[in-house]
């Protein structure tokens, strides 16, 4: 047999280093780790709150410490990256008919930002920050 097709192996662990698209994708995926950690931290806070004022104070001290703040900031950054990267691809998954055509992508993306802004505003109002 003269044929002998050559198969190029894909590196199983470092495949995403091959191009910037994959790196960008991995970065988007990795944001969930930080969002998950932040959610876990919030859950711990709830438990501490239930345990009493002493435990709650310890928790509040913990998250107000420099390292706690740094973590929150990092988590916020990743949450923003996560939201923005997903907002930007929503038009692919959502095709909303309008006339003979579809609602253009930028309009769908903008709508997401507007909703994000409104929801954030409502929360901040409810919490009395504003």
Binding site for other proteins (CB under 8 A): 1-8, 10, 12, 15-16, 18-19, 21-22, 25, 29, 89, 91-93, 95, 97, 99-102
Closer residue to other proteins in complex, CB, 47/95: 95
DSSP assignment, residue 9?
P
Q: Please, which residue, 26 or 114, has the CB nearer to other proteins?
A: 26
- Residue 7 or 130: the one with the smaller Cβ distance to other proteins is 7
Assign 130 to helix, strand or coil.
coil
Residue 70 to residue 64: CA distance in whole angstroms: 9
Q: C-beta of 31: minimal distance to other proteins in Å?
A: 14
Which residue is it, tokens 């009395």?
A: 128
Is the Cβ–Cβ distance between 94 and 85 less than 8 Å?
Answer: no
């Amino acid at each position: 047999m003269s044929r002998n097709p050559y198969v190029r192996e894909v590196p199983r662990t470092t495949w995403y280093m091959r191009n910037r698209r994959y790196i960008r994708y991995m970065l988007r995926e990795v944001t969930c780790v930080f969002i998950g950690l932040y959610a876990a931290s919030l859950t711990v806070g709830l438990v501490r709150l239930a345990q009493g004022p002493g435990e709650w104070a310890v928790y509040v001290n913990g998250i107000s410490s420099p390292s706690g703040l740094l973590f929150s900031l990092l988590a916020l950054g990743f949450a923003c990256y996560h939201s923005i990267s997903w907002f930007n691809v929503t038009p692919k998954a959502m095709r909303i008919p309008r006339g003979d055509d579809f609602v253009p992508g930028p309009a769908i993306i903008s709508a997401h930002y507007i909703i994000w802004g409104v929801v954030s505003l409502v929360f901040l109002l409810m919490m009395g920050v504003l």
